[in-house]
Every structure is written in C-alpha cells, then in structure tokens.
Amino acid sequence: MSVPILDLTALHAPLADQMRDVFNEILTTSQFVLGKHAADFEAALAQACDCKHAIGVSSGTDALIIALMAYDIKAGDEVISSPFTFFATGGSIARVGATPIFVDIDPVTMNLDSELIEEAITPNTKAIMPVHIFGHPANMDRINAIAKKHNLAVIEDNAQSIGAKIGDKQVGSIGDIGCLSFYPTKNLSGCGDAGAVLTNDDTLAEKMTSLRLHGQIGQYQHKIIGGNFRIDALHAAILNIKLPHLPQWNEARRRNAQLYKHKLADMPITLPVELDGYTHVYHQYTIRVDANKRDGLTTALKENGIGFGVFYPTPLHQQECFKYLNQDQGRLPHSEDASKRCISLPVHPLLTEDQIDEVCAVIKGHL
Ligand SMILES: Cc1ncc(COP(=O)(O)O)c(C=O)c1O
C-alpha cells in the first residue's frame, strides 16, 4: 500500500462543487484581485485566529517581508531567529537588508531556544522572529517578556501552525504580528501561493494594508514604499471555503500523531512532543533517528511507496548564502543535530490507521 505525504485531491473532493462555483463566479465577474472575497476571508480569518486584524497577502514569504517593513527594519538592523526552518524565515530578514542572527533551537521542541535569546541581543537588534516549527508553538510567554524588556518587536513566523495554541491563545496573535502561509502543503492551503498577516494593533494593520499595495494611502498617493503583496480573489474564496474545516483537519492530524506515538513508543526514535499547556497541530510529524540510520530509512520508505520529507537537511546558518554571517559549524549544535536526524512522516487529515500501521511496519522492519 502506498502512503502519500499529503492527499489534497481527496481532501478537496467533498468541497469541489463549492470551489467550482466560486471559480465560475470569479471568472464571470473578472474581479480577480482583492475585492469582496478577500474582505470576507480576512474577516473570517481574524475571527478564527482570535485576532483583531487579518490582512490577506500574496504568500507567507511576503507576509514576513511586510511585517519587517512595518517596523522599518533595514540595513544595519538585526533580527533574532531560528536556523532550523524553511529558508523564507531567514531569507526575508536578509531581503529587507537586515542581518539574521541565528540562535540555536531547544532540542525538545526544535523551536528557537528562548533561553539563548538575550545573549544574542545587541544595540542593533530590532525584532525577534520565532517560528512555530512543524505545528508546535515556540515559548511565546518568554519571548514576549524578553521583547518587552529590550523594546523589540515580535514577528511570529506562523506559516506552519495555524490553529496551534498556548493555553487558549492562538499562535500568530500572541506577538505583535503573525505571518501565515497558505501554500498548498500547509494545514490551511489555497490553490496556489497566498498568505496573511495578523495583528491586534490598529496602526500596524493600517500600515501593512498600505504596504501590500505599494504603500498606497489614497488612489495613486504613496507616503511609504510597499510592494505588490496582494491576495488574489480566487485564493481568498477557496481559503474561505476551507477555513471552517480547519479545526477538524487539525484534530485528525492530532489523532494521527497519537497513533504514531503509541505504535512507535518502543523504537529507538525521538518522537515529537507536545508540551503541557500547548496545542500542537502537527503540520509535520517529525521524528529523529540516529544520523547514520537516516539514509537507510528514507530508502526503505521510498521503496515501500511511503511519502516522507526531510525538513530541513541544512540549517540556515550553514547555507552558502549566509556564509558571510560566519556562524561556523558547531556553533548551533542542536540545529545541526536535528538537520542530520529528522524525517517527517505522513500525518495528513485523511490518513487511515491502516496506513499508519504500514508506515510503522516499514520503520520497525528497518531500524
Ligand atoms: C516556516 C516557514 N516560513 C515561511 C514560509 C514561506 O511561506 P510561502 O511558501 O507561502 O511563501 C514557509 C513555507 O513553506 C514556512 O514553512
């Protein structure tokens, strides 16, 4: 039996008629960018994320860029973030001209280690950008407290964790700005690239709304320089159809994670954790195996038709393009260790227990 890492066709099947209807409507009206569908989605998203403002944008990467631009972060500024993440996190910091300062991860959750942040702060530090990696929230209480003490902005990279919580608070709405991605593989995904920024701050919301449209404040009037970061009507409409289903999809991911936890309990594997008081949404179910066993296991998964991912094989401080940072090998040992040992298994909402058994059987047969 083959087990895909994701099955969007099956996930969309019950919603396909609704999706076709909005597609036809948008084709008929030719209202392709922003408009009513974007406004409706933004209102629903703000409510779902318990946040005052949600602003739809062109991608998760652009959401990060807009958030940095909202704080005028630029050359000479530093932003503290995690090296164990998708490239966009560090890439967006560099793209606004600032310097990413990569701080090691906590080996338990694989999120930015909040205990290491203060020693990385300099007079140039302007913001902290935690990533809620794989669906588990970073330690936002501690990060917000540090930011408050040092007068720093907190920009949450919440591309992977929509619906995750700390207590009853939704991540993405706990820092100053939350950045979401709706890339097709995400827990809530559009029909292409899209994203959103979240904030409870009226002034930031107004500025980010302007930034997504070239900094426009009135027709063809520009007080600041922004970009074309608009969300398309079709993405917004599709996302609005899918949004009400997100809680049940996240629940299904959590159920699948529980099944893996029981079935892989006795294996020589580091399983993902869910810390007390935190709600994990398992964007990925990322296990860690001995570094010298990973290639063999990924080969066995491949041979048995089991989808998997290696997120992320090279931490950002070791990427060629960040060599100028001089964050040498060995300086961020937990990030480097995770990169050598991680494998993400299928955990998508439609996975069956039989499929999970199949994945576990291959792992047990190999390790
Ligand atoms: C942690 C993280 N940050 C940012 C992004 C960028 O989002 P997008 O692909 O929508 O630009 C992603 C998406 O893969 C991500 O996983």
CA of 28 to the centre of ligand 1 (A): 32
**Residue 36 lies inside a defined structural domain of this protein:** yes
CA atoms of 347 and 345, how far apart (whole Å): 6
Same domain, residue pair 338 and 283: yes
CA end-to-end distance (rounded Å), the chain? 20
Among 226, 251, 139, 231, residue whose Cα is nearest residue 191: 231
**Residue 2 lies inside a defined structural domain of this protein:** no
Phi/psi for 25 (5° steps) reads -65, -45
Give the range of the structural domain holding residue 295, as residue numbers without chain letter. 246-366
Same domain, residue pair 202 and 295: no
H/E run at residue 92: helix 87-95
Same domain, residue pair 235 and 254: no
Residue from 79, 86, 93, 187 to probe ligand 1 pocket by mutation (most atoms less than 8 Å from CB): 86
* CATH at 151: 3.40.640.10
Same domain, residue pair 71 and 219: yes
Same domain, residue pair 224 and 273: no
**Residue 140 lies inside a defined structural domain of this protein:** yes
Same domain, residue pair 300 and 233: no
CA atoms of 70 and 66, how far apart (whole Å): 6
| pLDDT at residue 330, as a whole number | 79
Confidence category of residue 18, pLDDT binned at 50, 70, 90 = very high
What value does the CA radius of gyration of the chain take, rounded to a whole number of Å? 20
Among 339, 349, 346, 350, residue whose Cα is nearest residue 360: 346
Q: Report the atom number in ligand 1 closest to the C-alpha of 182.
A: 10
Same domain, residue pair 190 and 261: no
CA atoms of 167 and 152, how far apart (whole Å): 24
* CATH at 344: 3.90.1150.10
Structure tokens at 350: 């439609």
Please name the residue that has the structure tokens 């669906």.
Answer: 135
Average pLDDT value over all residues in the chain: 97
Q: Report the atom number in ligand 1 closest to the C-alpha of 194.
A: 10
Q: Report the atom number in ligand 1 closest to the C-alpha of 183.
A: 10
| Position 255, amino acid | R
Pick the last residue of a domain from 186, 215, 244. Answer: 244
Same domain, residue pair 279 and 223: no
> Mind listing the pLDDT tens digit for each residue in 286-325?
999 999 999 999 999 999 999 999 999 999 999 999 999 9
> Mind listing the pLDDT tens digit for each residue in 197-240?
999 999 999 999 999 999 999 989 999 999 999 999 999 999 99
Pick the last residue of a domain from 180, 212, 244. Answer: 244
Same domain, residue pair 237 and 278: no
Question: What integer is the mean pLDDT of 180-185?
Answer: 98
Sign of the Cα pseudo-torsion (270, 271, 276, 277, in order): positive
For ligand 1, atom 7, name the residue with the nearest CA: 60
DSSP of 234-259: HHHHHHHHHGGGHHHHHHHHHHHHHH
**Residue 220 lies inside a defined structural domain of this protein:** yes
Same domain, residue pair 220 and 92: yes
Same domain, residue pair 235 and 250: no
Pocket of ligand 1 (CB under 6 A): 59-61, 85-86, 88-89, 131, 157, 159-160, 181, 183, 193, 195
Residue from 6, 58, 61, 132 to probe ligand 1 pocket by mutation (most atoms less than 8 Å from CB): 61
Report the number of distinct structural domains present in the chain.
Answer: 2
Quick one: residue 33, left, alpha or beta (phi over 0 = left, psi -120 to 50 = alpha)? Answer: beta
